[in-house]
C-alpha cells in the first residue's frame, strides 16, 4: 500500500472561515509534509514533520497551522485565509528524515472566496 489519503478533495471557504485539511498514511512512514501548488507551478514546501515533530516551517503565514496527532495523521488548520491562498494543497510522506522518495496524496483543491 503506497497510498496517502487526503480529505476533502475540494474545499471552498470564505475568508472568515476555519477549516481543516486531513491526511493519512499507513505505510509506516515517519516523515510527513505539506506542500502548496499553484496552477502550472511546481509544489512548494510548507511544513515537514519528522517523527511527529515539526522540523521545517518554510516561513508560512500563521493563518496555516499544521498538526501531527500521530505518526499516521497530519492536519492543516486554516483560518482567515486570503484569496491568494487558493491552490492545490498536497500531503506527502516518506520513510524517514531524509525524504528522498516522497509519496503524494491526490491533494485538496482549495478555493478562498
Residue ranges in contact with other proteins by CB under 8 A: 4, 6, 31, 40-43, 45, 48, 50, 55-56, 88, 90, 92, 97-107, 109
Closer Cβ to other proteins, 8 or 18, answer by number: 8
DSSP state of 113: -
* Smallest gap from residue 95 Cβ to other proteins (A): 12
Cell (9 digits) for 94: 516518506
* Smallest gap from residue 98 Cβ to other proteins (A): 6
Tell me how far apart the alpha carbons of residues 38 and 4 are, in angstroms, rounded to a whole number: 20
Tell me how far apart the alpha carbons of residues 79 and 41 are, in angstroms, rounded to a whole number: 24
* Smallest gap from residue 80 Cβ to other proteins (A): 25
Amino acid at each position: 500500500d503506497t497510498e496517502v489519503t487526503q480529505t476533502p478533495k475540494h474545499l471552498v471557504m470564505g475568508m472568515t472561515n476555519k477549516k481543516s485539511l486531513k491526511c493519512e498514511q499507513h505505510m509506516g512512514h515517519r516523515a510527513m509534509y505539506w506542500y502548496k501548488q499553484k496552477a502550472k507551478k511546481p509544489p512548494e514546501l510548507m511544513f515537514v514533520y519528522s517523527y511527529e515533530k515539526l522540523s521545517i516551517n518554510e516561513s508560512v503565514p500563521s493563518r496555516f497551522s499544521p498538526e501531527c496527532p500521530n505518526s499516521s495523521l497530519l492536519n492543516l488548520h486554516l483560518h482567515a485565509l486570503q484569496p491568494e491562498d487558493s491552490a492545490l494543497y498536497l500531503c506527502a510522506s516518506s520513510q524517514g528524515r531524509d525524504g528522498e522518495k516522497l509519496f503524494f496524496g491526490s491533494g485538496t483543491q482549495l478555493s478562498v472566496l
